[in-house]
Amino acid sequence: MTNEPTPSSSQPVLTVRELEKSFSGKTVVSHVSFDLYPGEILALVGENGAGKSTTKNMLCGLLEPNNGTIKVKGNIVEKIDGRKHGIGAVHQELSLFDSLTVEQNICISDLPGSSTRIDWNECRAIAQQQLDSLGIDIDSEQKVESLGAGKQQIVEIAKALLHAQNVLILDEPTTSLTAPERERLFELMLRLKQQGIAMIFISHFMDEIYRMADKFVCLRDGAQVGHDSLKKVSRRELEQLMVGRTLEESKVNLAPCSANTKLTVNNLSSYYFNDISFDVRQGEVLGIAGLMGAGRTEAAEAIFGLIDSTGSVSVDGIELSQRTVQKSMQMGLCYLTEDRRSHGLFPVRSVKENLSAANILKFVSRSIKGFGFRHEKTNATQIAEQQNIMIPSIDSAVSNLSGGNQQKVLLARWLATQPNVCILDEPTKGVDIGAKFDIHNRIADLARTGVSVLLVSSDLPELLELSHRILVMRTGHIVGEFEREEFDPVKIIALAASSAYDTPTSGNTQPMSPANSPLASTL
């Protein structure tokens, strides 16, 4: 596999040679070299922490390289200025102002008018022209907070394209989008491609990479380890190039579960779902499938006591009479949120403190006046080593870690409480292939030790691989149940996507036109 640029008769819009970046004497990115041509999509791939974001930030001018050269349309650039050189980026975390309108957000970096007066009519005209050129029907006078995630992503792209005449960088643009919203984004990318806009596409989803990109640059541990046309490399070969090992070595081995019931949910109802009833056996991984809005997350939150609901939840036959987080934890439950950034981690606090947060009383000593923490650092270090969490220091802010390692910290925090029931909501959301395999194996290990797992996931292959049984939710109801020997992705998709309410609830259900289902894109 060559690292040489792909030859072309036209001039590259972006040429990168031996790009390198160091922090405090430590090299974090090295030997990055590629050519990008007009109308070409380059996939920048690698595990979390491989150096993708650092490379992106150097290319759009947020960081200055220590070594290497960058050319824009054949001209060497000493210092990248995104606006001046026509390079724009849509970052993983959107940079929109919710309380401002669409047009204000699009023009925010270069508002028209004078130093004393903004020309709002011109602002509206510029924003509308941007939206029209993208073929998007969005009211420019709407506030951004009123838009869904998909339309907010489009506004971010329109904002970036105001100055990105040459290169548009998209960093994990589909992570928070529904499948229909992804399709609209892909249609937009193809339109931009036809207009001659070159794109750098960063994604963890291999199906998206092979669908949208022409070629790839692969980073591992900060160094470029591959650059070629995607037509020349199989998906399995690219995955192995990213992680540096054979992925078959990490294949999950799911053991049989016990017949004993550990968790019982009976007639659970709330504003978001109705009459949810099921059992989870000891050592069982029970998967919950369904589309966005089916009520999966809300049901999981209600079981753990995060939202109010009626009905009953019992552990080992003992009912949680007052469903609060504290009571749930006392009964051996834990809950991994789907949104680690907003509801899971304490980003400015250290890895040590994040690992200890759910088990804090273990470290509180009242042998002296007041209280203090004993053995916290030693315990946190041991947990990080056991869970294979890659950290610069146990005292580093958790926000400095890659997404995969942040997710491992959150999971390790709960496992330190030694739970007997784990509720995991999208446990591999936004993590790379290597971290995903690690988390999958950890879930299988938990089940083998007798821990019951309730697994909520939008990743159907993940559910098929890890679950002993799968329940399907739709519009707040459980509409189907499949034992492992009955698993059929077509039938599961059909149940999740059907608008009918009288669907049979067994694994023998007949398929119902699943081709256009959002879940279909996960296969």
pLDDT in tens, 84-140: 888 988 887 778 888 999 999 888 888 888 878 888 899 989 888 888 877 778 888
Instruction: For the chain, give the mean pLDDT.
Output: 82
Q: Which residue has the higher pLDDT, 342 or 274?
A: 274
* CA atoms 193, 197, 200, 201: torsion sign: negative
> Are 395 and 351 in contact, with CB atoms under 8 Å apart?
yes
pLDDT at 180: 75
The residue whose two tokens read 């947060």 is: 357
Residue 346 has pLDDT above 90, yes or no: no
pLDDT at 258: 87
pLDDT at 517: 43
- Per-residue pLDDT band for 218 (boundaries 50, 70, 90) equals very high
Tokens at residue 422, please? 């784990």
Residue 248 has pLDDT above 60, yes or no: no
Most confidently modeled of 31-40, 45-54, 357-366?
Answer: 31-40
- Per-residue pLDDT band for 431 (boundaries 50, 70, 90) equals confident
Give the number of C-alpha atoms closer than 13 A to the C-alpha of residue 420, restricted to the C-beta side: 14
Query: Coil, helix or strand for 89?
Result: strand
pLDDT at 521: 42
- As a whole number of angstroms, the distance between CA 187 and CA 174 comes to 13
pLDDT at 163: 81
- Per-residue pLDDT band for 374 (boundaries 50, 70, 90) equals low
pLDDT at 362: 64
Mean predicted confidence (pLDDT) in 377-388: 77
Return the number of other C-beta atoms located less than 10 Å from residue 18's C-beta.
13
Q: Which residue has the higher pLDDT, 359 or 492?
A: 492
pLDDT at 503: 40
- As a whole number of angstroms, the distance between CA 40 and CA 190 comes to 10
Residue 176 has pLDDT above 50, yes or no: yes
- Per-residue pLDDT band for 278 (boundaries 50, 70, 90) equals very high
* Residue at 54: amino acid letter: T
Helix, strand, coil percentages (3-state) for the chain, rounded to 5, are: 35, 25, 40
- As a whole number of angstroms, the distance between CA 351 and CA 349 comes to 7
Residue 393 has pLDDT above 60, yes or no: yes
- As a whole number of angstroms, the distance between CA 152 and CA 163 comes to 18
Q: Is 0.75 surpassed by the pTM of this model?
A: no
The residue whose two tokens read 């580093």 is: 396
Cα distances (angstroms) measured from residue 26 to each of 21, 49, 65: 9, 14, 13
CA-derived radius of gyration, the chain? 25
- As a whole number of angstroms, the distance between CA 284 and CA 435 comes to 22
* Residue at 92: amino acid letter: Q
Mean predicted confidence (pLDDT) in 142-155: 83
pLDDT at 514: 39
- Per-residue pLDDT band for 356 (boundaries 50, 70, 90) equals confident
Q: Which residue has the higher pLDDT, 361 or 76?
A: 76
Partners of 20 in the β-ladder: 67
Going by their DSSP bridges, the two strands 167-171 and 364-365 should be labelled as unpaired
5-26: pLDDT as tens digits: 444 447 899 999 999 998 877 7
- Per-residue pLDDT band for 256 (boundaries 50, 70, 90) equals confident
